[in-house]
Amino acid sequence: MKNNNKIPISVVISAFNEEKKIADCLKSVSWTDEIIVIDNSSTDLTSEIAKKHNAKVVNKNNNIMLNVNKNYGFTHARNQWILSLDADERVTPELKDEIISHFLTFNSQAVNGYWIPRKNIIFGKWIQNSIWWPDYQLRFFRKGKGKFAEKDVHEMLDIIGETQKLENPILHQNYESVSQFIYKMDKIYTENAAKNIIDSGRDLLWYDALKMPAADFLKTFFLQKGYKDGLHGLILSLLQAFYAEITFMKVWEKNGFREHNNENFLTEVIKQVYEISYEFRFWILTVMIENTQNTRLKLYYRVLRKNIDRKIKRK
């Protein structure tokens, strides 16, 4: 390989005020022969730290739609293969070895992109269930064959052609505090989610204020087994429900705080709560069935769940 045996991969990192995290990210990819940092108008030492680690720094105005500047960074890459990272992510030694050992194979195969699992460290713990693991991210791709959509901050890369999966993960130093989680939820994620709902023409109804957060909690805590992460899983599921509630409220706000009230409003609310309670009971019984070894109890829970399911379908 050229350049002191470094691997001809272009790493593209989009960063804004990441002086505390950018150095570890850059060190984890020092084995590549090109690192490009798109500095999104940082006011701290992000740019200076990047330059000390031999990164090419490109200044760009900050954009709430993060993917715009990421795509801009890809146009500056000189190599055939690009690895897209965030400043709070690190390439693990195992992933580095996997990429290096298979690099010649990457060039010879008709594959244009690779999914990489991501280990999310949240509130000091590796979260191994729910939406947080394996959390595959499409980040390693052939230049000219991949681009982020610019409609949603959560969008994956769009790849032209075949994709495959790598085995070893990126390490993501994700949320370190509840305040950080709530800040990003408010300033970035719920703003974007509310805009997408409005742009789609979808009309939220008043009872979605109850149904949306309940559905998100049930999905993350029960269906995706967030409960296996203990208190961390419970808190993250509640925060996910809070995300859904804030999204609803922002759509409501953008629609002018549309009024809904009548003499039957309390009755309507109670009805919705009862219906949601059936959903909770269904999933409670589901996890009880999955976690009991007692055949009789399992059968009993199945009968109860079947009755609840009938009530849900009659709604």
HEC-encoded secondary structure of the chain: CHHHHCEEEEEEEEECCCCCCHHHHHHCCCCEEEEEEEECCCCCCHHHHHHHCCCEEEECCCCCCHHHHHHHHHCCCCCCEEEEEECCEEECHHHHHHHHHHHHHHHHCCEEEEEECEEEEECCEECCCHHHCCCCEEEEEECCCEEECCCCCCCCEEECCEEEECCCCEEEECCCCHHHHHHHHHHHHHHHHHHHHHHHCCCCCCCHHHHHHHHHHHHHHHHCCHHHHHHHHHHHHHHHHHHHHHHHHHHHHHCCCCCCCCCCHHHHHHHHHHHHHHHHHHHHHHHHHHHCCCHHHHHHHHHHHHHHHHHHHCC
pLDDT in the model for residue 153: 65
Give the span between the Cα atoms of 302 and 299, in whole angstroms. Answer: 5
Q: Which two tokens stand for residue 80?
A: 């055939």
Tell me the mean pLDDT in the region 206-214.
98
**CB neighbour class for 269 (10 Å; exposed up to 12, middle 13-18, buried from 19):** middle
Query: Torsions phi, psi of 88, nearest 5?
Result: -95, 15
By mean pLDDT, which of 26-30, 110-114, 154-158 is the weakest?
154-158
pLDDT in the model for residue 101: 94
**CB neighbour class for 261 (10 Å; exposed up to 12, middle 13-18, buried from 19):** exposed
pLDDT in the model for residue 152: 67
**Is the pLDDT assigned to residue 1 strictly greater than 70?**
no
Q: What is the CA radius of gyration of the chain?
A: 23
- Write out pLDDT tens, residues 256-272: 999 999 999 999 999 99
Query: For residue 99, how many C-alpha atoms fall within 13 Å in the half-sphere facing its CB?
Result: 29
Percent of the chain at pLDDT exceeding 70: 97
Q: 2-173 has which CATH code?
A: 3.90.550.10
Give the span between the Cα atoms of 66 and 88, in whole angstroms. Answer: 14
- Mean pLDDT rounded to a whole number for the chain: 94
What residue segments make up the domains of the chain, in order of their start? 2-173, 177-260, 262-315
Instruction: Give the other-Cβ count within 10 Å of 93's Cβ.
Output: 11
Give the span between the Cα atoms of 223 and 166, in whole angstroms. Answer: 26
Whose CA is closest to 27, among 205, 211, 171, 214?
Answer: 171
**Is the pLDDT assigned to residue 53 strictly greater than 80?**
yes
Kind of pairing, strands 111-116 and 137-142? antiparallel
Tell me the mean pLDDT in the region 112-132.
97
Indicate the pTM of the whole model: 0.89
CA 257 to chain centre: 29
295 contacts: CB under 8 Å, gap ≥ 6: none
Res. 35 pLDDT band, cuts 50 70 90: very high
CB–CB of 9/31 below 8 Å? no
Res. 225 pLDDT band, cuts 50 70 90: very high
pLDDT in the model for residue 4: 66
Percent of the chain at pLDDT exceeding 90: 87
Give the span between the Cα atoms of 28 and 13, in whole angstroms. Answer: 12
